[in-house]
A and B are shown apart, each in its own frame.
Chain A
């Protein structure tokens, strides 16, 4: 496929995903704001991926007509609602574009470099070869197995090969199924352009952060945050280095960040649409990589605390619609976990032989981890900036007494702590893990840390808007 053809195919995939996501949001009767619109491409892409999974279960062939047909029918049946939604979005985009004329030269310049960088990523994703180890060994291989079987069926994958290889069959299926839906749309398996679906996550993540921060920070600072989310070196590995293309780390990073954006927007934690969408995106993260499972658990605890607060203090329950959204989100996660357990696809922490854990060994591993992370910090990467963002965020959260900001900070911190714990207790040699995975684990947290900094700046006392006066915070007050 030519570069232009591949570019058109990827654009069509993103556009179709957006339309389907937008249709779902409209039909679900959810209140639509800029943040909901920004997440629509991922809602649509995930829905189509899960649709393929269901088709496999009920033996419906994976064919483009059968994949897109139901959504076309739904769009025709509910055409007024769908057309109104698209027209409203188009009007919003036009308004946004008109606003670009009012930008000061500095902001316009930063945005221009950001757009140029994103365009470079787009091109680069399409033309670089498929050479990434995990991309070939795991993500795209799984996608190919699913595509060939027309179902989520890993029974055909040889497990006892010589020499032994590790394919991590327990890794969740959403990313490979997204690849499959792209391949169904283009009619054949193409690993080179398949790996480019990471671009849809970039668009949704940057748009979600901008939608969250624009009303809070204004154009100039929001533009800087958006630029960082596109161009920061830590994230470039997914879009510039062929050896990291086709990995799911940026995907889970984007989903976690969007979940946190919705969580921060929640005015009645556990009982409103923002909480439901936060839970939904956390569930998608759990369906993308195993790291997302701990994230989902922590987000569930935070939302559950809000739910309990609302029930005991105000006798308020979430609406049936929100319960349906949450249930629809969690069912695929539970289904995959059941499938993996039944077929014996266990996580390495469970399935591999562990060393004899002693205090000395743990202390030695902890020292190795700390030393490695310390030496990662240099002036050519973002790690010092990420650490500073983390420190500034908690300081501003304390000063502003913004509990939602503190909750977002706590979730990111707990997730980071989980990564350190997993490195510490992994059955593999810690030096091997650090050299192969540490940068990707930091990548997973990076968008959330950038968002966190933006939220912290918006909630600071000198921002001109008191934390106590901002909508939604009242529920978080004792």
Chain B
């Protein structure tokens, strides 16, 4: 029985050498060393949101509530987790309803506007901080309360 066990171990090792060896040989190490995978692998949400997030982390007020308006298809998906992680410690409220901007008391409003989405009218007391055109033609609009802008 021990012979069978050793045979199992050897065959398993050979199987692993074949599977793992192929992976090691197929890898593009130049891309790895340059850190390029960061630009290739995408999180399970729209490019419009994830591409703009690093800039938002830097530009939004460091704390306080943020209302994020997204396409309703993003609701129930990964957008809330993504935004609440990257924007923490800001308290993130994600909505697919533009009218939420009229009733919010958040210090900042971020609108991920797809090319085919309606425009957002700035609510009273808010001013436009930035309007960035994204690669796909969408816009990332940031509104801040008058006293909380940068």
A binds B: yes
A residues at B contact (CB < 8 Å): 2-3, 110, 113, 116-117, 120, 123-124, 127-129, 131, 133, 136-137, 140-141, 144-145, 148, 156, 158, 161-163, 165, 191-192, 221, 224-225, 227-228, 231-233, 236, 240, 242-243, 379-380, 382, 385, 388-389, 392, 395-396, 399, 453, 456-457, 460-463
Query: Per-residue CB proximity of B1-35 to A under 8 Å, as 1/0?
Result: 11111101110110111011101100101001111
B residues at A contact (CB < 8 Å): 1-6, 8-10, 12-13, 15-17, 19-21, 23-24, 27, 29, 32-38, 41-44, 75-76, 78, 80-82, 84-85, 88-89, 91, 93-95
Decide yes or no: A113 and B88 within 8 Å by CB, A136-B82, A192-B38, A228-B13 being known contacts: no
Main secondary structure of the interface of B (DSSP, over half): helix
- What is the CA–CA distance of A286 and B86 in the complex, to the nearest angstrom? 28
Whether B38 and A117, one on each chain, are in contact in the complex, defined by CB atoms closer than 8 angstroms, is no
Main secondary structure of the interface of A (DSSP, over half): helix
**A116, A161, A379: most-surrounded residue (chain B CB, <10 A):** A161
- What is the CA–CA distance of A55 and B10 in the complex, to the nearest angstrom? 49
- What is the CA–CA distance of A463 and B21 in the complex, to the nearest angstrom? 31
Query: Which residue of B2, B20, B33, B75 is within 8 Å of A236 (Cβ)?
Result: B20
Whether A144 and B88, one on each chain, are in contact in the complex, defined by CB atoms closer than 8 angstroms, is yes
- What is the CA–CA distance of A337 and B34 in the complex, to the nearest angstrom? 43
**B9, B21, B93: most-surrounded residue (chain A CB, <10 A):** B9
**B1, B4, B23, B78: most-surrounded residue (chain A CB, <10 A):** B1
- What is the CA–CA distance of A116 and B19 in the complex, to the nearest angstrom? 14
Whether A456 and B5, one on each chain, are in contact in the complex, defined by CB atoms closer than 8 angstroms, is yes
Whether B89 and A380, one on each chain, are in contact in the complex, defined by CB atoms closer than 8 angstroms, is no
Query: Which residue of A124, A136, A463 is within 8 Å of B85 (Cβ)?
Result: A136
Decide yes or no: A233 and B19 within 8 Å by CB, A133-B81, A228-B13, A457-B6 being known contacts: yes
Whether B6 and A129, one on each chain, are in contact in the complex, defined by CB atoms closer than 8 angstroms, is no
Closest-CB distance, A431 to chain B (whole angstroms)? 18
- What is the CA–CA distance of A243 and B91 in the complex, to the nearest angstrom? 25
Whether B81 and A392, one on each chain, are in contact in the complex, defined by CB atoms closer than 8 angstroms, is no
A-B contact list, 18 entries, CB within 8 Å: A3-B34, A124-B37, A127-B35, A127-B36, A129-B37, A133-B44, A136-B81, A141-B88, A148-B88, A161-B93, A192-B38, A225-B9, A228-B12, A232-B16, A232-B20, A392-B4, A460-B5, A461-B2
Whether A127 and B37, one on each chain, are in contact in the complex, defined by CB atoms closer than 8 angstroms, is yes
- What is the CA–CA distance of A221 and B36 in the complex, to the nearest angstrom? 38
Decide yes or no: A131 and B41 within 8 Å by CB, A3-B35, A224-B9 being known contacts: yes
Whether A392 and B80, one on each chain, are in contact in the complex, defined by CB atoms closer than 8 angstroms, is no
Q: What 20 new A-B contacts, CB under 8 Å, besides A127-B38, A221-B6, A395-B1?
A: A116-B24, A129-B37, A129-B41, A131-B43, A137-B78, A161-B93, A227-B13, A227-B16, A228-B9, A233-B16, A233-B20, A236-B20, A382-B12, A382-B16, A385-B8, A388-B8, A389-B8, A392-B8, A396-B2, A399-B1
